Amino acid sequence: MAQPTTLQPPAASATQDAPRTGNWDGGNEPFKASYGKLMMWFFLLSDAFTFAAFLTTYGMIRHKHEVFTGEAKDFVFNSRWWPIPDHVFNAFPGMGHANVPLGFVALMTMILILSSVTMVLAVEAGHRMDKSDVQKWLLWTILFGSTFLLSQAWEWSHFIHGTEAGTRMADGTVFHGANLSVNQYGPVLFADLFFFITGFHGTHVFSGVCLLIWCFIATTNGTFHKRGHYEMIEKIGLYWHFVDLVWVFVFTFFYLV
């Protein structure tokens, strides 16, 4: 450990450079965003690559399959063609066999957009150093996030168990619901993509809820207040909005188109 613990100022000489203060010379923020926020942006960009890979796979596989060309009312589940989404996702919790096309997924979308709003409100409260407002809006965000997760659990359960009628498969047996190798709705890959895409998104929501709960505990303990800023809420907020953003795309490409 012969190294000096402090840097010695270089001996003054006529040839020494003036201190460099340019944008990329260190010591300042070229993008006017802190290190943490910048890295969160880059992480989200890499996460966008993963989700884009999923959606690209979905688009390619879907276009590889036949499209049902008849009237929507004549549509029946068949492994030949890609299912029409509002015939698959038409159940609503507590409404039995009522036909509510896309009703539940509309509610889930609203819940997730609302959770994004309460997240921005938490960030805004953080800017004002208003600890109790931050706590309040974080709790709302955790509530909406958890509600979304429970809704997705219900959606999965319904998708896996299927309808009473089921679909007669090629071997003559009637199959209800879906798993990774056989499903009543259409081509095998339809169910696989449903599980992988909504599952990967749900995992993100779950991680987000965990981070928010940690944030709430840290806020309550006054960690951020002592630090003098609530930037951690902003960083986790960026992640949370990204998860909402991904849902907007999943919603369009899986349920609407």
- Please tell me whether residue 241 binds another protein under the rule CB under 8 A: yes
Binding another protein by CB under 8 A: which of 99, 114, 147, 223?
Answer: 114
Q: How far is CA 233 from CA 173, 203, 219, in A?
A: 53, 20, 9
Binding another protein by CB under 8 A: which of 99, 132, 157, 203?
Answer: 132
Binding another protein by CB under 8 A: which of 115, 116, 167, 183?
Answer: 116
Q: Minimal distance in Å, beta carbon 87 to another protein?
A: 12
- Please tell me whether residue 218 binds another protein under the rule CB under 8 A: no
- Please tell me whether residue 131 binds another protein under the rule CB under 8 A: yes
Show the 3-state SS of the chain: CCCCCCCCCCCCCCCCCCCCCCCCCCCCCCCCCCHHHHHHHHHHHHHHHHHHHHHHHHHHHHHHCEECCCCHHHCCCCCCEECCHHHHCCCCCCCCCCCCCCHHHHHHHHHHHHHHHHHHHHHHHHHCCCHHHHHHHHHHHHHHHHHHHHHHHHHHHHHHHCCCCCEECCCCCEECCECCCCECCCCHHHHHHHHHHHHHHHHHHHHHHHHHHHHHHHHHCCHHHHHCCCHHHHHHHHHHHHHHHHHHHHHHHHHHC
Q: Minimal distance in Å, beta carbon 60 to another protein?
A: 4
- Please tell me whether residue 86 binds another protein under the rule CB under 8 A: yes
- Please tell me whether residue 59 binds another protein under the rule CB under 8 A: yes
Binding another protein by CB under 8 A: which of 28, 33, 153, 174?
Answer: 33
- Please tell me whether residue 248 binds another protein under the rule CB under 8 A: yes
Q: Minimal distance in Å, beta carbon 222 to another protein?
A: 6
- Please tell me whether residue 38 binds another protein under the rule CB under 8 A: yes
Nearest to 196 by CA among 87, 63, 50, 42: 50
Q: Minimal distance in Å, beta carbon 104 to another protein?
A: 13
CB 122 within 8 A of CB 134: yes
Q: Which CB atom, from 169 or from 248, has the smaller least distance to another protein?
A: 248
Binding another protein by CB under 8 A: which of 76, 98, 113, 180?
Answer: 113
Q: Minimal distance in Å, beta carbon 58 to another protein?
A: 9
List residues near another protein by CB under 8 A.
30-33, 38, 41, 45, 48-49, 52, 55-57, 59-66, 72, 84, 86, 101-102, 106, 109-110, 113-114, 116-117, 119-121, 124-125, 128-133, 222, 225-226, 228, 237-238, 241-242, 244-245, 248-249, 251-252, 256-257
